[in-house]
Structure 1
Amino acid sequence: MKKRGLSMILMAGLLSGLLAGCSGGESAGGSSDPNKPVTLSWLVYDRVEGKVRDDWEIFKELQEKTGVKVDFQIVSQEGLQEKKQIMIATNSVTDIMQVDTQEGREHGPEKVFLNLNDYLDGAPNLKKFFEDYPEAKAVATGADGGIYSVPVIEGDAEGKGFNFIWYTRKDLMDKHGLKAPTTTDEFYEFLKAYKEKEPNSYPLISNAIVGDTGLYTVMGRAFTGIQGFFNIDPATGSYAFAPYHDGYKESLMFLNKLYTEKLLDPEYSLLTQAQWEERILTGKSLVTYFWKADLESLTDKARKAGAADYELDAIPMFAADGVKNYQYSRPVIGGVGRAISAKVKDKERAVQFLDYLKSEEGSNLLSLGIEGKTYTIENGQPVFMKEFGASPFNTLRKDWGVWYDLITLNNAKSREVWERGLSDKSKEINKLYEPFILPAPKQIVKTEEEMELEKSKLNNLNKFLEQRLTEFVTGKTPMTDEAYQQFLDECKKLGADDLLNMYNTAYDRTYGGK
């Protein structure tokens, strides 16, 4: 009865034209007092492209449309995770915040986050979203059946969109007559030739050792076909632990050879993002694996700094003989979402605000901005303003708050519009990488016991892996059969088998092993 009564109240608000998602852009309302201004706090961090501002025009538009003023609670990117964890642990989260979908499932039933399921009858855009994306509903639903987050849309349904490419200095590659590698052996010869021609360089550099662009992730995949430490093996459709796989030892031996011959930056495991960029821009390093979106902006930055002939370009992905040469696409449903505090003062208004952000109009504001100011319509399709250049996200984020991390709910929409206006060069890169892209695995939904297992073992295992792999690559621990077996034995002691079995069990339960 309570739910039915609430639904009738909320529907009355909809019929009176207060919720823009169903009323062609009118203000969002709520059952308490739809005309009264409401302020909602929102946890964010400052991006390198530009700091969070309280005068972004899209949020003025949002306030006019919904009556909701957003009060950004700003932390540093480095301090974000700790701040979020403290807020969750003390049940003092901001009214709106980004959470991992797992955090939503785990802490929602503890009354940290609002159960959106109780409000869906009065939130048509959210309701349709969960109907259209069953995976989003699965990863947002807690053990008690409540829905505790609205996952961010990351990729297209076809599984073709991707993020990362191998960069190299095309101007130097052409100057020295080098040929793009297609195998790991050719990649070694490619780096060796660069070193001979550019002796003051360390040709290969990475901005991280783990994660999507991490050196161990990328080279591990090239030698085993497994991306990261735990992931779906595209050859079997089941989870695998990369160090158990044939070829992983060879990947470490390969990296050790690069390190020993000074083909890999000797400080690769310690570099900051700023140091990585400085070495790429100044020619101290010549090859890296990074976000494709940054290639042209980095080229422009180097040229503006005085390197007139500087040009970055993509080389194909490569893999060892007999190993699947691929990169997973962006997932359709991301691993994070927006959640509402269970303690928010006006629950109905908060839900209706989030619902408006999932409407076409609200989604466009966060993902595209304002027509005529951040994008135009060409041939019936939106395209970002040409004056924003090859990397429009820099201006969009800095000056408008559009496509801003922890704020937007649909990165796929922004990327689709960005890629529509790509340069011919970027379109050629997309075409070059098309054959390598596989649809990303879907997220798995873990039980409470499985989450506890992961929490108790994964962090320690990851720290051990990062430390020991670095020791192997740098030669601190010589790569002998005995040393590698001891490494595997220690992985087992730290829970590698338990985690692998858990991931496969959860994946099979969630998706029937498919």
Structure 2
Amino acid sequence: MKKRQLGVILTACMLTGVLAGCSDKEAGAGEGGGTDSKKPVTFSWLAYDRVEGKIRTDWEIFKEIEAKTGVKVNFQIVSQEGLTEKKQIMIATNSTTDFIQVSTQEGREHGPDKIFLNLNDYLDKAPNLKSFFEKYPEAKAVATGADGGIYTVPVIEGDAEGKGFNFIWYTRKDLLDKYSLKAPTTMDEFYQFLKAFKEKEPTSYPLIPNAIVGDTGLYTVFGRAFTGIHGFYNIDPATDKYAFAPYHKGYKDSLTFLNKLYTEKLLDPEYSLLTQAQWEERILTGKSLVTYFWKADLESLTEKARKAGKADYELDAIPQVAADGVKNYQFSRPVIGAVGRAISAKVKDKDRAVQFMDYLVSEEGSNYLSLGIEGKTYTKENGQPMFMKEFGASPFNTLRKDWGVWYDLITLDNAKSREVWERGLSDKSKDINKRYEPFIIPAPKQIVKTQEELELEKSKLNNLNKFLEQKLTEFVTGKTPINDTTYQQFIDQAKKLGSDDLLNMYNTAYTRTYGKK
């Protein structure tokens, strides 16, 4: 970093104590002899305020945790928008908070440089962490650096059976019933379905995506429907190898299909420019009628529309569709997430810090972070935890705001929270889950890249993605015609930007990580 920038950072550190290197001595941050496991100690922890509710100092679960462990958590709070930059500065200056969430890749990359504590040195004193890594070999693989050290505790996202999933197709059931429309089951029926909606609701643009890339992005969803590849690069379930979706014949067909929707005004003409707020407004007001989104939001969006005066408004799921001959699937939530909790290598009381991490991975500690307090945030029915009924269809809002439960950058087991939430779903939501079960297949495991592979990815992937997003938008909106010549030019340019190099790298890393042939 430039000297001036470093000076500003260090000055801010001295003035505000935001960086972990400026731990609040009066709070005893990271201090304590380590011999008394209940001796009061305070650890700093980087977090951000969520839209559901801000970080609070009086969350009861942390009072309970402090009573059990002697550890007080001092959250260092940043905005969600400033989180990435703050984390990067902390890593660059080796001044992270005592506890911090980073990507497992960041853990592997910077852990050996003494930025994060090597947990492998403490596993004999941390039985829960030791059991965790024995139970989840993938977690150990993605947490282990080139030097053999373990630098993160990856967050658990999905169940081991690979059944949990996130996304569904929404449509307006009240209008479906009103016009006696049949939910589509094939891609051609999907097109006819949108045409029928346009005919009945001529001022609408029936299909609206909330993004163009990402899990719910237009190009991701339709690319998968026509090629069987989720996103630009991913595992092809048919071959168990990485594939680049635009190389598949069906990808050109997906663009032709989307261009037809765009031309016939069945797709929102501003689809590539929409904000999340605009997407929601158009869904709630009936300007758009079909979308692909998080299943967890279906009932809350219905409720929001009804409160706004649309008494008959109702969203429901329609089947997931795919082109003829293409596997119709959706990946489950991955069991092991791409992020994990790390401990600063500079934490003053390393033993106590590891003890605390070990407690948070234990059943009791994990329950506090993922479920809360029995009798206050959840009860047990037939021995199974259930979130309080008064929290409604979206209990995570209350849990996060009032209790700090299931809170991003804090919880270590999202899968446990989701399992309990889904246990208490409405009959309608349970029915949607059942309808989508046939489409769900286990998510691919993460790959571990070497430093050279990381450099290759950094040097090529961002520019390639920007090109793909721009060119696909030109194809769909008709700015560039779709024919054999223009599509070949598109592929040729992708190759120049490194599409082959990246594909080979992903397959090499996948083979090395999991012994695939």
TM-score bin, normalised by smaller chain: over 0.9
Tell me the CA shift for residue 507 of structure 1: 0.8
* Secondary structure, aligned partner of 2:268: coil
Aligned pairs for 1:97-496 (under 5 A) are: 97-496=100-499
Q: Which amino acid aligns with 2:515?
A: G
Note if contact 1:166-1:314 (Cα within 8 Å) is conserved in structure 2.
yes
Aligned to 2:515: 512
**Aligned-partner Cα distance in 1 for 2:275–2:74:** 31
Q: Which amino acid aligns with 2:404?
A: G
**Aligned-partner Cα distance in 1 for 2:89–2:477:** 37
Aligned pairs for 1:82-97 (under 5 A) are: 82-97=85-100
Note if contact 2:38-2:69 (Cα within 8 Å) is conserved in structure 1.
no
**Aligned-partner Cα distance in 1 for 2:407–2:288:** 30
Tell me the CA shift for residue 67 of structure 1: 1.7
* Secondary structure, aligned partner of 1:247: helix
**Which structure 2 segments of 5+ residues have no match?**
1-31
Note if contact 1:32-1:346 (Cα within 8 Å) is conserved in structure 2.
no
Note if contact 1:170-1:313 (Cα within 8 Å) is conserved in structure 2.
yes
Note if contact 1:30-1:352 (Cα within 8 Å) is conserved in structure 2.
no
Note if contact 1:182-1:317 (Cα within 8 Å) is conserved in structure 2.
yes
TM-score by length of 1: 0.93
**Aligned-partner Cα distance in 2 for 1:59–1:292:** 30
Aligned to 1:14: none
Moved more, 88-97 or 381-390: 88-97
* Secondary structure, aligned partner of 1:167: strand
1:284-303 deviation digits (Å, cap 9, x = unpaired): 11111111111111111111
**Aligned-partner Cα distance in 2 for 1:123–1:30:** 17
Tell me the CA shift for residue 263 of structure 1: 1.1
* Secondary structure, aligned partner of 2:234: strand
* Secondary structure, aligned partner of 2:159: coil
**Aligned-partner Cα distance in 1 for 2:58–2:275:** 31
Tell me the CA shift for residue 31 of structure 1: 2.0
Q: Which amino acid aligns with 1:92?
A: S
Tell me the CA shift for residue 205 of structure 1: 0.9
**Aligned-partner Cα distance in 2 for 1:54–1:177:** 53
Out of 493, 501, 506, the position equivalent to 1:503 is 506
**Aligned-partner Cα distance in 2 for 1:339–1:66:** 19
Tell me the CA shift for residue 461 of structure 1: 1.1
Note if contact 2:194-2:207 (Cα within 8 Å) is conserved in structure 1.
yes
**Aligned-partner Cα distance in 2 for 1:87–1:225:** 40
Aligned to 2:67: 64
Note if contact 1:203-1:284 (Cα within 8 Å) is conserved in structure 2.
yes
TM-score by length of 2: 0.92
Moved more, 480-489 or 285-294: 480-489
Note if contact 2:235-2:444 (Cα within 8 Å) is conserved in structure 1.
yes
Q: Which amino acid aligns with 1:160?
A: K
Task: Return structure 1 stretches of 4+ with deviation > 6 angstroms.
Answer: none
* Secondary structure, aligned partner of 1:108: helix
RMSD (CA atoms): 1.3
Tell me the CA shift for residue 478 of structure 1: 2.0
* Secondary structure, aligned partner of 2:495: helix
**Which structure 1 segments of 5+ residues have no match?**
1-28
Q: Which amino acid aligns with 2:241?
A: S
* Secondary structure, aligned partner of 1:344: coil
Q: Which amino acid aligns with 1:347?
A: K
* Secondary structure, aligned partner of 1:109: helix
**Aligned-partner Cα distance in 1 for 2:203–2:514:** 51
**Aligned-partner Cα distance in 2 for 1:273–1:77:** 16
| Equivalent residues, number | 486
Tell me the CA shift for residue 33 of structure 1: 5.0
1:128-180 deviation digits (Å, cap 9, x = unpaired): 10011111000000000000000011111111111110001100111111111
Q: Which amino acid aligns with 2:284?
A: L
**Aligned-partner Cα distance in 2 for 1:195–1:156:** 40
Tell me the CA shift for residue 76 of structure 1: 2.1
